[in-house]
């Protein structure tokens, strides 16, 4: 229903009968048919795929770090992926999704290593609050470098300007098809991580006693987050707070079992991205507010509530 609404609702309302006719009997000469097939279907499909990736990636990251504040955007993973995509465009002249995604993966991996490395410094090692602060600092740093590159290169800025806030606009079906194999690989890794996360959530000693190879399990989970978040960033830009908010609501339904938490997080995140995209098109007619701005407005209050619950971020 939400996906259908995403195709029908926008600056121009298109009746469901016209939407169905456009999908089944496409007429290239009909402007409404072109809007449906060339604009709204691609952005709806990309929103679904990006939401699934961010929801599953956020749930894995929270389970891996045992930190309820973990989010790909807050931890600098999505901004790191975004920075490397900008470098790919500006320095290497990358023009396609197939090229973007590899730079996004590399940026996500580099950001994850830097944030975790900084967060583990000090006597107490990695604590939830220290990792959040390290992620916030790295996010600011990555964002500053990205902005510096964009303002000094007009061609890169024109190509990337909507990605900076996270957007589903201006994408075509090729982006979805090119990103789909990477998303599928990330979801396969996520399924493999579910049982591992259940073991890791009980602590390293218990996980080892259950027969888990803790370093290998953590590496597999990090790889899943990098693939999922890198793919989402390559497709739609750094959409914030989806990976933070959704797993908490999914956990209310499923409990802590990651075998159920991951799929519920993926589905609910896809719904959130589509709803945010629809709201962005409706509240600013005849223009639109980018989906990344809407999710930030919705997610920021949730982050404040989580931070105020001191038992979640205590050392």
| Listed residue (113, 22, 127) closest to 70, CA to CA | 127
Residue 314's pLDDT is 39
What CATH number corresponds to the domain at position 95? Answer: 1.10.3470.10
| Contact (CB, 8 A) for 105 and 90 | no
Q: Is residue 167 part of a domain?
A: yes
Q: Is residue 132 part of a domain?
A: yes
Q: Is residue 46 part of a domain?
A: no
Residue 66's pLDDT is 81
State the number of CA atoms in the 13 A half-sphere of 155 facing the CB.
Answer: 9
Residue 90's pLDDT is 84
Residue 163's pLDDT is 56
Q: Is residue 49 part of a domain?
A: no
Domain, as residue range, for 203: 55-313
Q: Is residue 44 part of a domain?
A: no
If one counts the domains in the chain, the total is 1
Residues sharing a CB contact under 8 Å with residue 253, sequence separation 6 or more, in sequence order: 264
Residue 96's pLDDT is 72
Q: Is residue 198 part of a domain?
A: yes
| Listed residue (76, 69, 115, 75) closest to 244, CA to CA | 69
| Contact (CB, 8 A) for 190 and 261 | no
Report residue 301: phi and psi, to 5°: -60, -35
Q: Is residue 31 part of a domain?
A: no
Q: Is residue 13 part of a domain?
A: no
For the chain, 315 residues long, give each residue's pLDDT as a single digit of tens. Answer: 788 887 877 777 888 888 888 888 878 888 888 888 888 888 899 999 999 999 999 999 888 888 787 888 778 888 898 889 888 888 888 877 667 778 888 888 899 889 878 877 877 666 666 777 888 899 889 988 988 888 887 777 776 665 566 677 777 788 888 889 989 999 999 999 999 999 888 877 888 888 888 888 888 988 898 889 888 887 887 788 898 889 999 998 999 999 999 999 999 999 999 999 888 888 877 778 888 888 888 877 877 776 676 454 433
């Amino acid at each position: 229903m939400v996906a259908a609404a995403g195709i029908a609702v926008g600056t121009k309302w298109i009746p469901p009968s016209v939407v169905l006719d456009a999908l089944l009997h496409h007429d290239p000469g009909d402007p409404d048919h072109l809007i449906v097939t060339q604009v709204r279907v691609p952005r709806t499909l990309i929103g679904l795929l990006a939401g699934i990736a961010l929801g599953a990636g956020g749930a894995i990251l929270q389970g891996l770090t045992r930190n309820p504040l973990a989010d790909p955007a807050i931890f600098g993973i999505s901004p790191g992926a975004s920075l490397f995509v900008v470098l790919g465009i500006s320095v290497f002249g990358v023009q396609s999704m197939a090229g973007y995604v590899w730079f996004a993966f590399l940026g996500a991996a580099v950001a994850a290593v830097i944030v975790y490395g900084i967060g583990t410094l000090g006597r107490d090692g990695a604590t939830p609050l220290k990792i959040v602060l390290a992620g916030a600092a790295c996010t600011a740093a990555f964002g500053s470098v990205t902005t510096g590159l964009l303002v000094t290169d007009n061609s890169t800025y024109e190509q990337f300007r909507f990605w900076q806030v996270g957007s589903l606009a201006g994408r075509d079906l090729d982006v979805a098809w090119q990103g789909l194999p990477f998303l599928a690989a990330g979801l396969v890794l996520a399924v493999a991580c579910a049982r591992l996360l259940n073991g890791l959530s009980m602590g390293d000693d218990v996980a080892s006693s259950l027969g888990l190879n803790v370093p290998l399990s953590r590496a597999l989970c990090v790889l899943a987050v990098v693939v999922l978040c890198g793919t989402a960033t390559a497709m739609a830009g750094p959409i914030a707070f989806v990976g933070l908010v959704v797993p908490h609501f999914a956990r209310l339904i499923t409990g802590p079992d990651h075998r159920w938490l991951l799929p519920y997080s993926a589905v609910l995140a896809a719904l959130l991205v589509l709803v945010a995209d629809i709201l962005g098109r409706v509240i600013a007619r005849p223009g639109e507010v980018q989906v990344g701005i809407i999710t930030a407005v919705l997610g920021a209050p949730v982050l404040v509530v989580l931070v105020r619950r001191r038992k979640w971020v205590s050392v």
